[in-house]
Amino acid sequence: MPLFLLQVMLASDKITKENLAVKIVKKRPLLHEDKDNTLLERRVLEVANGCPFLIGAHATFQTKDHLFFLMQYLNGGDLHTFIEENGKLDIDFARFLAAEMVCGIQYLHKNGIIHRDLKPRNILLDGNGHLKIADFGLAVENMFAGKTCREYAGTAGYIAPEMLQEHRYNASIDWWSFGVILYNMVTGKNPFCCDKTSNTKVKSTLEDTPSYPPYLCAVTRDFLEKLLCKRPSKRLGHKGNIRKHPFFKSINWEELEAGRLVPPFLPCTTSSHVSKETMSVEEAISQVKTAQKPITAKDQKLFDGFTYVNPKWITAVQPTAVPGPSGLGETSSTSASIKKESYHENPPSS
């Protein structure tokens, strides 16, 4: 999604004091290009609420000019920043994060969703050492067994060879991206040439074989080689049971999915950098600039069905009313108040 369409603000729930992220998207530009992707993201966020390793939506609502996503906020930053600041990860921590990623990816695939933009910037950490996969703006739905597509999507350096070659592809492209991310985690580097030019990245992905540092054990190397297999039909994740690979021998999957495994590493959080001054959602909405040219009632119908409230979240608090889109026939509820300090989403890595 183009950066000018998007603003993200930090929020806090007035009752639970939980921090939340509020993503604000202008409607008008969506009328011409990204409406379908934005509505798709809303649907995927609803599905994601069923998995503890995916960022889900507490609620979505709209005004006449903007769409609002009220989402979970993680205070440990993203995996890209963490690796940049700390270098390669301890193998046990990398294995733990990889196992949580596997659970999240498999949940998406079980529900017919391919992420298509898995990368370290879209892997968010909490203050306890757990992760959640985020950013479903490039996802594709209804990709159940046997179905393929051809549309190009993703971030250079993490895109599977079959997509680069404009071949039809399936969910195996996510396992390729997962392999690149795991290589990032255990080496601190990219397995292929990470030159700034897209052509170089594409050529390297298609032609080069990754080098594996000698400090990687045979099991880790075998796992990475099976993930970074250029033939999608042979790629681990698509073929075979990824959970049974020896790399995950120490993982108790039932305990992991139940949230009972203690992460082997505790990352520092960024919460100390967040302003604690808040204002109400109504005040925040009023400060978002109104479009000079009103959107017609006919075009407003394109956003029918956008408003949503996660029942599990709303029953955990005593909700107060949040203004829905006046005149649009949709309302929502939340007890959130938005912090005055706002920030812009990081631009896609090149």
Output 288 or 96, whichever has higher pLDDT. Answer: 96
Coil/strand/helix, residue 321: strand
The catalytic residues are: 117
Name the pLDDT band for 250 (thresholds 50, 70, 90). very high
Q: Out of 56-65, 89-98, 275-284, pick the least confident.
A: 275-284
Taken in order 192, 82, 20, 257, the sign of the CA dihedral is positive
Regarding whether 167 and 247 lie in a shared domain, the answer is: yes
Q: Euclidean distance between the first and final Cα of the chain, in Å?
A: 14
| CATH number, position 196 | 1.10.510.10
Could you give the C-alpha distances from 321 to 184, 314, 318, 337, in angstroms and in order? 44, 11, 10, 12
Name the pLDDT band for 268 (thresholds 50, 70, 90). low
Domain that holds residue 137: 79-257
Domain count across the chain: 2
Q: What is the pLDDT of residue 282?
A: 57
- The predicted-structure confidence for 306-350, as pLDDT tens digits, reads as follows 999 998 887 655 444 444 444 344 444 455 666 544 433 333 333
- Per-residue HEC secondary structure of 16-59 comes to CCCEEEEEEEECHHHHCCCHHHHHHHHHHHHHHCCCCCECCEEE
Regarding whether 231 and 120 lie in a shared domain, the answer is: yes
Q: Residue 32: which residues within 8 A CB-CB, separation 6 or more? A: none
Domain boundary among 257, 286, 307: 257
Coil/strand/helix, residue 265: coil
Regarding whether 145 and 205 lie in a shared domain, the answer is: yes
Give the residue-averaged pLDDT of 153-164: 95
Regarding whether 95 and 47 lie in a shared domain, the answer is: no
- The predicted-structure confidence for 170-220, as pLDDT tens digits, reads as follows 999 999 999 999 999 999 999 997 666 677 888 899 999 999 999 999 999
* In a domain? residue 266: no
Furthest-apart CA pair in the chain: how many Å?
A: 64
Q: What is the pLDDT of residue 20?
A: 86
Regarding whether 100 and 48 lie in a shared domain, the answer is: no
* In a domain? residue 220: yes
* In a domain? residue 138: yes
* In a domain? residue 309: yes
| CATH number, position 47 | 3.30.200.20
Tokens 């597509």 appear where?
A: 149
Regarding whether 136 and 216 lie in a shared domain, the answer is: yes
Regarding whether 238 and 101 lie in a shared domain, the answer is: yes
* In a domain? residue 267: no
Regarding whether 215 and 99 lie in a shared domain, the answer is: yes
Domain boundary among 224, 257, 290: 257
Phi, psi at 203, each rounded to 5°: -60, -40
* In a domain? residue 307: yes
Regarding whether 112 and 233 lie in a shared domain, the answer is: yes
Coil/strand/helix, residue 334: strand
Taken in order 134, 137, 139, 142, the sign of the CA dihedral is positive
Domain boundary among 199, 233, 257: 257
The span from the CA of 12 to the CA of 339, in Å, is: 7
Q: What is the pLDDT of residue 8?
A: 81
* In a domain? residue 211: yes
Regarding whether 211 and 309 lie in a shared domain, the answer is: no
Task: Name the helix (H) or strand (E) containing 338.
Answer: strand 336-343
Model pTM score: 0.86
Are the C-beta atoms of residues 74 and 124 closer than 8 Å to each other? Answer: yes
- 237-272 as b/e: b if 16+ CB within 10 A: bbeeebeebebbeebeeeebbeeebebeeebebeee
Regarding whether 83 and 60 lie in a shared domain, the answer is: no
Identify the bridge partners of residue 125 per DSSP, sorted by sequence position. 131
CA 214 to chain centre: 32
* In a domain? residue 306: yes
Output 127 or 142, whichever has higher pLDDT. Answer: 142
Regarding whether 171 and 111 lie in a shared domain, the answer is: yes
Chain-wide mean pLDDT for the chain? 84
Identify the bridge partners of residue 350 per DSSP, sorted by sequence position. none
- Per-residue HEC secondary structure of 200-230 comes to HHHHHHHHCCCCCCCCCCHHHHHHHHHHCCC
Q: If we measure between CA atoms, which residue out of 18, 42, 19 comes closest to residue 30?
A: 42
Top-confidence range, 107-111, 126-130, 325-329: 107-111
